[in-house]
Every structure is written in C-alpha cells, then in structure tokens.
Copies of this chain bind each other. A is one copy, B any other.
Amino acid sequence: MKKFINNPEEVVDEMLEGLLLAHSDKIKSVGEEDNHSLVKIDAPSNGKVAIVTGGGSGHLPLFLGYVGNGMLDGVAVGDIFASPSVQQILDVTKKVDGGKGVLYLYGNYGGDVMNFDMAAEMSELEDIDVDSVIGTDDVASMPKGSEDNRRGVAGLFYLYKIAAAKAETGADLKQVKEVAEKVNSRVRTIGVAVSPCTIPSVGKPNFEIEEGSMEVGMGIHGEPGMYSEKIASADEVADLLTNLILKDIDINENDSVSILVNGLGSTPLEELYIVYRKVHKNLSGKNINIYKSYVGEYATSMEMGGLSISILKLDKELKDILDTPFDTPFHKQF
C-alpha cells in the first residue's frame, strides 16, 4: 500500500487526533468513549437550531470538514466507509442542542439511517427535539421515480451550506428542515471513476476499474456504476454528466444554477477546471444562468480517481442563502 498510515485499525483515531491538534481553535471532541464525536468549539450555539451530520471516514472534507461557523454544529465520525454508532451521534446531539432542536442532515446509506433514527429516538427521550433530512442527490444510484432511495454524495455540501445559513437566521427546526428538503429536491449529482481506492484494513482495492475504462455513476464507496466504457475526453465526460443530470431535473432557459465539480481524490484540480469549463459552457449555451460555482474536493473516496458534477437549481431564497460566509477547517467562503 502506498499509504502514509501506521496500524490500519487506527487510521481514523489517528486522523482525528491530528485534526483536533491542527484545528483546536475550531472543533473539539465531546465523545464519552472516543474522539469520534466532534462539535464546534463554541457549542452549543444558543438561540439557533443545531445541525448534526455524520457518516463513514475516507471522504474528507465530508463529513467532519463541514463543522464550523456558518456551517454545521457537530459530526459523528464512523470508521472508514462505516456508520458512526448511535452513542457517538447521541454524544454530539446532547452537546450541540441549544434548546431550539437539532436537525440530522446526512447521506442515504442504510447503516447511517438506522443509527441516526435510533439516536433521534433516544434524544427525544432526553427532551431534545430532533428531525432529519436525508441527502439523496446521486442520480446514478436509482432511476427517476425512486429519488428517495438514491444515495447522498457531493450535493450534500449544498444541503449543509443552505440549512446552516438558514439556522443562523434564527429559523425554527421546521423551517430549517424545509429548506434542506427544498435543496435536496433541487440538487443532482453524478460521478465517474477511473481508479479505485483501498480501505487500509483490507490492504487492496475492494473493486477494480479496468485499465482505460471509466465507471459512469460509481458511488463514493465503489458501488457499481450505471455502466463502464472507455475513458472519454474531458469534454465528452462533461457533456455526458451534464446531460444525465438535465434528463433528471427540469432546468430551463433563464433558470439559475450553482455548479459543483468535485474531485474524488487523486484527480488533479487542473483537470477539474477543464471539465468545469465545458459544463459551464453547456449550461450557458442553453441560456441557463450560472450563479456561483465550486470546484475542488468536497466529497472524496480517499485516493479514488474521478470526479462528480452537481447542479443545484436556485431560486431567489437559495441564491441569497448560498452567498453567506462560512468558515470550516477545510472550505471557507467570505
């Protein structure tokens, strides 16, 4: 393995230890048993709804990189590609609740749903008001008509950003939930992978991508894609992914969108911009307004090679909220 690790079983604990040392001004550990439960340094933020996420490790900056000012209040961190435990979620929930309730906001994976649901029940027993929105932006994971069963991937960034900004306005739990649901209904993502990643404790890739091929629609844990084909040019990939998204969601002339081109791990930023360029041109060519764009690593799969494109259909409310600043250990916006 070409990995900078020590004991493969301790990858997540040691990563979190490093993260807490590097960002002790922004986040703190509040777990009763380990350092997998992290919250903003000034938690609880009184007077606002708190937002909690969580999921498996190996996707930085997802999930824990989105805790910070103008963003999320806390995160429960699982092992590589594994859900956090109910206790870890509960530890976070108790520390972030400032009396206005807690919104769970996370991606649609079986283990996560089960554990967040159980943590929600246990929180209610402690008189903490909890509600949930589950991100389902991955077009490739289920056909149109089954949107609710899709997986959550890079588009989660938009759910976080906008729900968090709404919470900052003093909105109540119902209102924050509503805007998160609205974003989820308006964002679509589709990815393409060209090389796999290796779970440290396994020591070899748990799936293969044939040399010279790309997996269209592969998930961020290597879930099989829609199909495999010869690696295409950047422009062809941009066209393909844009078209798959536009077939799935109604975006018309004069609509406004935000585009996120996300690197899955080892694909250089240079290539992401080449692809962004063509997505931008495709949409501009249809007289769709590109309001704001993000290019970089927002949801990765360790060293997987590939990228995803997310498109969020905006309205006046979402535009305004998208513009507000946020400050996390990873991405920031002035």
Contacts and interface: CB of A to CB of B under 8 A. Distances in A.
A6 B231 CA distance: 11
Nearest to A61: B269
Interface in A48-79: 57-58, 60-61, 69
Given A4-B271, A194-B2, A234-B6, A266 B303 contact: yes
Contacts of A15: 270-271, 273-274, 277
Contact of A2 (B69, B195, B302): B195
B280 A21 contact: yes
A268 B21 contact: no
Given A234-B5, A334-B332, A300 B194 contact: no
A307 interface: yes
Interface in A178-213: 194-195
Interface string A1-22: 1111110000110111111011
Contacts of A274: 4-6, 11, 14-15, 18
Interface in A1-49: 1-6, 11-12, 14-19, 21-23
A133 interface: no
Interface residues of A, number: 61
Contact of A5 (B6, B69, B271, B325): B271
Given A58-B270, A266-B266, A275 B234 contact: no
Interface in A263-309: 265-278, 280-281, 290, 293, 295-297, 300, 302-303, 305, 307
A201 to B, nearest CB: 13
A295 B18 contact: yes
B269 A60 contact: yes
A80 B321 CA distance: 38
Given A60-B268, A332-B334, A277 B2 contact: no
A286 B194 CA distance: 44
A293 B22 contact: yes
A233 interface: yes
Nearest to A334: B327
Nearest to A296: B330
A165 interface: no
Contacts of A1: 231
Given A266-B265, A277-B18, A332-B334, A271 B327 contact: no
A290 to B, nearest CB: 8
Nearest to A293: B22
A311 interface: no
A237 interface: yes
A129 interface: no
11 contacts: A5-B233, A6-B235, A18-B273, A18-B280, A21-B290, A22-B273, A22-B280, A57-B270, A60-B269, A60-B270, A268-B303
List the 6 shortest-distance A-B pairs measured between CB atoms, nearest first: A18-B277, A266-B266, A18-B273, A60-B269, A4-B271, A332-B332
Given A5-B271, A22-B273, 11 more contacts: A4-B234, A6-B235, A11-B274, A15-B271, A18-B277, A21-B281, A22-B276, A22-B293, A61-B269, A332-B333, A332-B334
